[in-house]
């Protein structure tokens, strides 16, 4: 029997585990770099070097951590262990 072409689940392919985690890593680095360059640009404009660059790095790190935790929470927690696991 052929799959129903109108099935909305058919259009979305699941992202394999390693690719999903690689994407989270790239997003982590990108967030830090974007905030770093924004801080650097503002430092050059306002003459506050290096304070806004440092603030940008910490803000980027915080935003990246928040995003990573949100994605991992949506993905689900660790597998539940039961008596059949032998532990």
Q: Is residue 60 within 8 Å of 33, Cβ to Cβ?
A: yes
pLDDT greater than 70 at residue 35:
yes
- If one counts the domains in the chain, the total is 1
Q: Residue 65: inside a domain, yes or no?
A: yes
Q: Residue 60: inside a domain, yes or no?
A: yes
pLDDT greater than 80 at residue 13:
no
Q: Residue 37: inside a domain, yes or no?
A: yes
The mean pLDDT value of the chain amounts to: 82
Q: Residue 84: inside a domain, yes or no?
A: no
Distance from the first to the final alpha carbon of the chain: 42
Q: Residue 55: inside a domain, yes or no?
A: yes
Q: Residue 7: inside a domain, yes or no?
A: no
Distance CA 43, CA 48 (A): 5
Q: Residue 13: inside a domain, yes or no?
A: no
Q: Which domain holds residue 51?
A: 23-73
Q: Residue 47: inside a domain, yes or no?
A: yes
């Amino acid at each position: 029997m052929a799959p129903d072409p109108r099935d909305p689940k058919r259009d979305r392919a699941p992202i394999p585990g390693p690719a999903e985690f690689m994407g989270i890593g790239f997003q982590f680095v990108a967030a830090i770099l974007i905030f770093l360059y924004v801080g650097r640009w503002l430092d050059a404009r306002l003459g506050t070097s290096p304070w806004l660059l440092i603030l940008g790095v910490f803000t980027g790190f915080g935003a990246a951590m928040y995003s990573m935790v949100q994605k991992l929470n949506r993905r689900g927690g660790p597998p539940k262990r039961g008596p059949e696991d032998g532990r």
